[in-house]
Structure 1
Amino acid sequence: MEYNKNFYQIHSNDDIFQRIKDERAEIGYYDLPYQDTNDIKNYVATVRQRHIVVLGIGGSSLGARAIYEFLLPSNKYQKDLIFLETVDPLEIKYCLKKLDINDAHFVVISKSGSTIETISLFKYLSTLVEVNGKNCTIISEAKTKLTKYANNNDIKVFELAENIGGRFSVFSVVGLVPLAMVGADIDNLLNGCRRVSDSFFKQKEYYQPIISKARFLVENKARFNINAIFSYSSSLESFNKWYVQLWAESLGKLNINKTRQALTPIALIGPVDQHSFLQLIIDGVRDKTVTFIKIADLKDDTIIPKSSANLGLEYAEGLSFNDLLNKQADATIQSVEAQKDIPCDVITISTVDEYNIAKLMFSYQLLVSTIGQFLQINTYDQPGVENGKVILTNALKC
C-alpha cells in the first residue's frame, strides 16, 4: 500500500527560521526597509495641494492610515491626509465636505488596478473635478488598466511589485508616497523597519521574542484561538484595524493537511475597553491571549489640575494624563497576570515618532510570516476574499 498523506507537524525553530530566510527571495516586503526613497521625495516636493486624498481600501489604505493617525496628534502637518475607503454614499459626501476639492491631490491606489470600490470612487471624483497629472498620482502594478490609464494621461504612476501583497505593502510606495506628501519622515520609517529586520535575521534582539511567540501561538492554537491586542492610546486605533486585517487575512487558511486554522484577532483600546471587554477576558472562557501595547512618552505633559470643587479623587491631582493612561494599563496588566492562566505579554513603545511605529508594524509583519510558516499555510494569498469578488463581479454583469 502507498499512502502519501502530508501530515502537519510543528517544525523546529531552526527549520522555520531557514524557511523564512528562503522566503525572502520570493516575498517582496522583506526588502522594503532597504529601498531608495529619492524618487518619492523628489516627486512629493512638487505636490502643492493642501488635501491629500487616498482612494484605496484594505491593504491600500490601512497601513498608511495607521501611521498617519499615530503621528498626527504630536505633529503639526501643513497638509492633511484623508482616506476614502468606502462606497457608502453618505460617508463619501461627508468626507468631501471637509475639503476644498480644487485644492486636493488624489492618490489612487489599487494593486490589481480593478478594485471596484477604488475605481468607482475615482470615476465619481472625475465628475466633480478635472483629474490630471497636476492633481493625481496612481499606484498600481505595472500591467494594470489603471497604470495604462496613468501613462496615457501623463499622470505620475508608482509601480507596485507583484510580489508585495496589499496587507504587507505599508512600507512600499503604497504607504510611503501619501505619507511623504503630508510631511512624514519616510526615511525614519524605514530606519525602524531596518532595525527590526537586521536584528531578526541576525538572530539578535528581535529574533527570540518573535519566533517564541509564534511557536507558542501555534502550539496552543486549539486552546487559545483568540488573539487580542489591548492598545493603550487612541492614536493606535487605526493600527488596531491594520493588525486585524494583517492577522485575519494572512492566517485564516487551510494548512497542508487541509485543516482549517483559526487564529482570530481582536483589537481593543484602553482605557475605553476596560469597561467592556476586560470583563470577558478576566471571567470568561480561557480561549484568549492578550498583548498590551503601551506608549511610554506621548509627548504631552497635560496634568490633572487641582480643584476646589468637592469632586473627590484628590490623589490623582497633579498627575499627567500620560502617566494616568500608563498606570491604567499597568493595573489592567496586573489584573490579567494575577489570573495566572491568561497568556499575555507587553510591548512598550518608547515615544511617538516614525521610527517606533515602524518597528512595531514591521515586527508584526515578521510575526505573521513566522506563524504562517509554523502553520504551513500560504500566508500571502486570500482565496476566501477573492471568491467573494468573483461572485460580486458575476452578479453585476447579469
Structure 2
Amino acid sequence: MINKLYFTSLDEQVQQKAFRAIEEEQRSIGYYTLPDQDITPILSYCDSIPDMIETIAVIGIGGSSLGAKAIYEFVKPLNNLSRKLYFFESTDPINITTLLSKIDLEKTHFLVISKSGNTVETFSIYKYIYSLQNDPSAYTFITDPDSPLEKYANEINASVLHLPDNVGGRFSVLSTVGLVPLALCDIDIQALLNGAQTIKQSFFNDGYLKDTLLKKAVFYAKNHAQFHINCIFAYSETLKYFCEWYVQLWGESLGKHQRNSAFHVGLTPIGLIGPKDQHSFLQLIMEGTRDKSVTFIKIEDFHDNITISDITLPHLETLDILNGLPFSKLINMQCDSVMEALEVQGDIPLDSITIPTVNEHSIGSLIYYYELLTSLVGELIDVNTYDQPGVEAGKIILKKKLRVLKK
C-alpha cells in the first residue's frame, strides 16, 4: 500500500509525542495485538460447522457487522466463495423479510454477535428468527465472557465464542467478530492478518508508513477546527462497505468531549465512491466551503481487463478517444484527473492511497492503517477514542421508552 500526501506537517516534536503515546497505549488496548494472533482455534471451530450449511448469517449491528461486511464485499467479486454471507443489521421490517427470503433456514448458520450481550437491535432480530428456527445448533453466540448472552447460550446448550480483552466493537473486525464469519466462507483470514501485520510492523519499527501516518494525523489534529470534514473518495465499488466501516470508526471514535476541557470536538467522516460521486459531491468539494480534506483510494490491479468496445457511434465520434481503453485504466485516469483538479485549487488538503490489488492482504492493510490513524488523531485531539457515551445515551432513553410501553 502506498500513501502519498499532498500537504506537509512539520511538527516533529508533536509527532514523536503521539508515537510514544500510541506505544504506551498498546499495553491496554487490545486491537493492536490482533495481527499477531494464532488463528488455529478459529479454523478448528469453522471445521465443526457441517458441510451442508450453505449460508452464514450475522445478526449484529455496528462494529459487530460493518467490518466483516466491508471485507466480504471487497474480496467476493474475485473469489468463488464456498458460502454466502448475509448481515441482519437493521430493525427495518422490510429488510428483515427480504433477507429471510434469500436463505434456507435449514441450511443457514447464524452468528449472533453482541459484546455487551444485551443489544436491543440484535436481540429483537434474533427473537424473531429464533421463532422461525429454534434449533440451538443453528446458532453461535459471540460475546464477552460472563455476559448475559453467554449465560443464555449456555442455558440452551449453544456454542459460544469470546471477544478478546479490551477490543471495542468498531476495532473488532480482526478478532473473532470478523474472522469467524469470513473464515466460514473460505476467505483467507491469515492473509488478512498478514496485511494488517505489514502496516503494524512498518509503523512501530520505523518503516515507510510511520512518518506518513504521523504527519497525516498531526495535520488533521492541528487543523481539525477548519478541516473538520474528512472525505474518503474510493475509486472502486468493492470499497463501498469499507467506506461505511470507516464512517463508524472515524465518527464514533473522534466525536467527543475533550478529556481535559469542556470543548466538543470531532472530524466528520464522509465516504464517497468514484466516479459516480464525481457527479454529485465533487462540486461541493471543488467550490464549496474550505472545510474538507480528501483521501483518494485507488486500486492498481483490478484483475479484470475488459475494454471499451472499438466502435464508432453516429454523432458521437468525439468519444472514439475511449475505444480500446481498459476500464481499469479509465477509472484510475478519472481518479488522477480529479486529484489534479483539486490540487490546482491549492487550499484543499489531499492525499492518495494506492492498493496493489483486490485481495485479503490489501484490505487487511487498509483496515489496520485506518485503525492506527484513528488512534493517533484521537490522542492528538485529546479524546477517549474507545468509548461512545453519546451512543449509550440514546440506548438508555430507548430502554426507558420500551419499559413504559410495556406498562
TM range (shorter): over 0.9
Kept after mapping to 2: 8 A contact 1:11/1:374: no
Q: CA deviation at 1:13?
A: 1.7
226-235 vs 144-153, which deviates more? 144-153
**Residue of structure 1 aligned with 2:146, choices 140, 143, 146:** 143
Structure 2: distance between partners of 1:364 and 1:220: 18
Instruction: Tell me how many residue pairs correspond in the alignment.
Output: 389
**Residue of structure 1 aligned with 2:359, choices 338, 353, 356:** 353
Match of 2:207 in 1: 204
**Residue of structure 2 aligned with 1:384, choices 383, 390, 396:** 390
Structure 2: distance between partners of 1:306 and 1:45: 49
Q: CA deviation at 1:130?
A: 2.4
Match of 1:178 in 2: 181
Match of 1:95 in 2: 99
Partner of 1:20: helix, strand, or coil? helix
Match of 2:371 in 1: 365
Runs of 4+ residues over 3 Å off in structure 1: none
Kept after mapping to 2: 8 A contact 1:296/1:350: yes
**Residue of structure 2 aligned with 1:31, choices 33, 36, 39:** 33
Structure 1: distance between partners of 2:312 and 2:350: 41
Q: CA deviation at 1:177?
A: 0.2
Structure 2: distance between partners of 1:279 and 1:241: 22
Q: CA deviation at 1:11?
A: 6.8
Match of 1:156 in 2: 159
Partner of 1:12: helix, strand, or coil? helix
Normalised to the residue count of structure 1, the TM-score between the two structures is 0.96
Match of 1:217 in 2: 220
Kept after mapping to 2: 8 A contact 1:199/1:206: yes
Match of 2:324 in 1: 318
What per-residue deviation string (whole Å, max 9, x for no partner) do you get for residues 334-362 of structure 1? 11111111110000000000001010110
Structure 2: distance between partners of 1:309 and 1:376: 59
**Residue of structure 2 aligned with 1:84, choices 88, 102, 126:** 88
Amino acid at match of 1:330: D
Amino acid at match of 1:84: F
Match of 1:3 in 2: none
What per-residue deviation string (whole Å, max 9, x for no partner) do you get for residues 54-113 of structure 1? 000000000000000001111111210000000111110011111112111101100001
**Residue of structure 2 aligned with 1:122, choices 114, 123, 126:** 126
Match of 2:17 in 1: 15
Normalised to the residue count of structure 2, the TM-score between the two structures is 0.93
Matched, 1:236 2:235: no
Amino acid at match of 1:380: Y
Structure 2: distance between partners of 1:162 and 1:144: 13
Matched, 1:284 2:288: yes
**Residue of structure 2 aligned with 1:331, choices 330, 337, 340:** 337
Amino acid at match of 2:24: D
Structure 2: distance between partners of 1:191 and 1:175: 15
Matched, 1:396 2:386: no
Amino acid at match of 2:220: L
Q: Percent identity of the aligned residues?
A: 48
Structure 1: distance between partners of 2:181 and 2:135: 17
Change (3 A) 1:121 1:97: same
Match of 1:274 in 2: 278
Match of 2:6 in 1: none
Structure 2: distance between partners of 1:102 and 1:196: 41
Q: Which runs of 5+ in 1 are unaligned?
A: 1-9
Match of 1:44 in 2: 46
Q: CA deviation at 1:119?
A: 0.9
Amino acid at match of 2:222: E
Amino acid at match of 1:50: E
**Residue of structure 2 aligned with 1:56, choices 57, 60, 64:** 60
Amino acid at match of 2:369: S
Amino acid at match of 1:208: D
Partner of 2:103: helix, strand, or coil? coil
What per-residue deviation string (whole Å, max 9, x for no partner) do you get for residues 152-211 of structure 1? 333221101341100000000000000000010000011011111111111211111111
Structure 2: distance between partners of 1:59 and 1:388: 17
Kept after mapping to 1: 8 A contact 2:355/2:362: yes
Q: CA deviation at 1:378?
A: 0.4
Kept after mapping to 2: 8 A contact 1:214/1:370: yes
Amino acid at match of 1:106: F
Match of 1:262 in 2: 266
Kept after mapping to 2: 8 A contact 1:252/1:261: yes
Match of 2:350 in 1: 344
Kept after mapping to 2: 8 A contact 1:56/1:84: yes
Q: CA deviation at 1:12?
A: 1.9
Matched, 1:192 2:195: yes
